[in-house]
Structure 1
Amino acid sequence: MSLPELDGPRLDPASGGPAKQLIILLHGYGADGNDLIGLGRSWAPLLPDAAFVSPHAPNPCAMSPMGKEWFPLSFRDAEEYARGVAEAKPILNAFIDAELKRHNLTEESLALVGFSQGTMMSLAVGLSREKPPAAILGYSGALAAMDFAADIGSKGPKIFLIHGDMDQVIPVEALTMAREQLTALGLSVDWHIAKGVGHGIDQEGLMLGGGFLKNTLTAQAGV
């Protein structure tokens, strides 16, 4: 059975040249790729050689007919999260492989950025790939699965988690739990708790995330 093919809005490198980095933006439940592509416009001055793509999730959202979902959310519990990311991972992995091939890049030049359910997907996919991305940036999300690639602690990506302390959709404790579980595996995890912020991205979080991507991806490139 063939996998659904993802697509969504793209931004070519601001430099006008070929892409030297690829940043894939994964939206949250009930949104679509248009919701996050603006992050690419904000970060383009920091990463002028980066291509950005924000794919639409594969499924119509049950709770928001105009939006999409990576997987259903009925019970919002750990079992549903783990089952959901497991089912969606092959679809996203195929998209990542195709986008890397499109730009003639490798995982050393790849960053996954997620918001909410997109963060669950970024962590689940990024940490289970045989060749992980250079960076994972997650906003307002959670760690949904622990089926990581072998020796992920020694070869894993840099991770930065950002969460609002007023988030009523996914409590900020999800950041603490994810950080503890990931650092126990030997992964490098930075984090930031945004004061007075709910389920969203504020200007400081946007700035910090962009700086993290620039530092990580340019370090990988030896710039």
Structure 2
Amino acid sequence: MQNREQLWLELPPMSPEAPRRLLVFLHGAGSSPEAFAPVALAWQLKFPGAQAAILQGPEAHPGGAAHDWFDTRAVAADRAERAALAAARLAQRVAVLQQSTGVDAERTVLVGFSQGATVALEMVRNRPGLAAIVVAYAGRLARPIRSGERLDATVHLLHGEFDSLVPVVHAHQALRALHASGTEATLDIVADSGHVIDQQLIILGTTRVMQTVFRGRRRAAGDGRTLH
């Protein structure tokens, strides 16, 4: 689908009988929905009832046809503000997708890579109740966690040990900050991996989401609520 601001790809569920979910994918800087499609398809194999939406960054990447979520060429001190603006715009798009698919926030998972991961984290910070789970590959927090701030989404951080573009220290810092705020968060580091989403990272990410969903089902069963 396309409008004046943004292009995105939608992949229908592979199995209408499987539990319904909404998987929203955010590519890295200098990429596109088409380039990220193999990752989305690999995720759908694990969640065959999920509708997948691969969103496109609104900013043109310098020197090519690819896209960014926010301009990285400006002053570094303004990066948090630019990430917050991108996250606010994107949260509106996610809400529209939820309405059109009939899938609520409790069954929505945000999956971002690099700059897309940073924006995904910023989205659930600025708009509580937008999604239940965030999977952040090679990401970092756009700004420090505020005193008293706690994310209601579960956050799974995944990082390559030898990532030279977004060093793994950012993932460690994010995990410490999230845990200190009381946010449910995990960190998996893949040895000998760099700034990529390889098969091992896909397996780790989907496994973390399955574990979170299973825990949610157990809690719901204990409360006597209907399971999805």
Smaller-chain TM-score range? 0.7 to 0.9
Counterpart AA for 2:117 = T
Structure 1 residue 80 displacement after superposition:
3.5
Deviations 1:174-201 (A, max 9, x none): 0011111111110011111111111112
- Relative distance call for 1:168 and 1:104 in structure 2 (3 A) is same
Question: How many pairs were matched up?
Answer: 217
- Relative distance call for 1:16 and 1:151 in structure 2 (3 A) is farther
Larger Rg: 2
- Relative distance call for 1:41 and 1:163 in structure 2 (3 A) is same
SS in 2 for 1:25: strand
Contact 1:60 1:69 (8 Å CA) reproduced = yes
Aligned to 1:88: 86
TM-score, L = length of structure 2: 0.86
Using the aligned pairs only, state the percent identity: 24
Structure 1 residue 36 displacement after superposition:
1.9
Aligned to 1:190: 186
Distance 2:215 2:189 in 1: 25
Counting only pairs closer than 5 Å after superposition, residues 158-173 of structure 1 correspond to structure 2 as 158-173=154-169
Distance 2:195 2:10 in 1: 25
- Structure 2 residue 70 is the aligned partner of structure 1 residue 71: yes
Counting only pairs closer than 5 Å after superposition, residues 12-161 of structure 1 correspond to structure 2 as 12-16=12-16, 20-62=20-62, 64-74=63-73, 77=76, 79-146=77-144, 153=150, 156-161=152-157
Counterpart AA for 1:216 = T
Deviations 1:101-151 (A, max 9, x none): 011121101110100000000100022213141100011110003577x97
Counterpart AA for 1:52 = A
Deviations 1:62-121 (A, max 9, x none): 2x42100111112684x2330221221221011001000011121101110100000000
Contact 2:84 2:119 (8 Å CA) reproduced = no
Bigger RCO of structures 1 and 2 (CA < 8 A, at least 6 apart): 1
Counterpart AA for 1:10 = E
Deviations 1:34-60 (A, max 9, x none): 222222211223211111111111111
Structure 1 residue 152 displacement after superposition:
5.5
- Relative distance call for 1:198 and 1:18 in structure 2 (3 A) is closer
Q: How much is the aligned-residue C-alpha RMSD, in angstroms?
A: 2.4
Contact 1:26 1:122 (8 Å CA) reproduced = yes
Q: Which moved more, 1:4-13 or 1:156-165?
A: 4-13
Aligned to 1:216: 212
Gaps of 5+ in 2: 218-226
Gaps of 5+ in 1: none
Contact 1:134 1:217 (8 Å CA) reproduced = no
Structure 1 residue 9 displacement after superposition:
1.3
TM-score, L = length of structure 1: 0.88
Counterpart AA for 2:55 = P
- Structure 2 residue 177 is the aligned partner of structure 1 residue 178: no
Distance 1:189 1:30 in 2: 28
Distance 1:115 1:211 in 2: 17
Q: Which moved more, 1:84-93 or 1:106-115?
A: 84-93
Structure 1 residue 10 displacement after superposition:
1.3
Distance 1:12 1:46 in 2: 14
Distance 2:113 2:7 in 1: 18
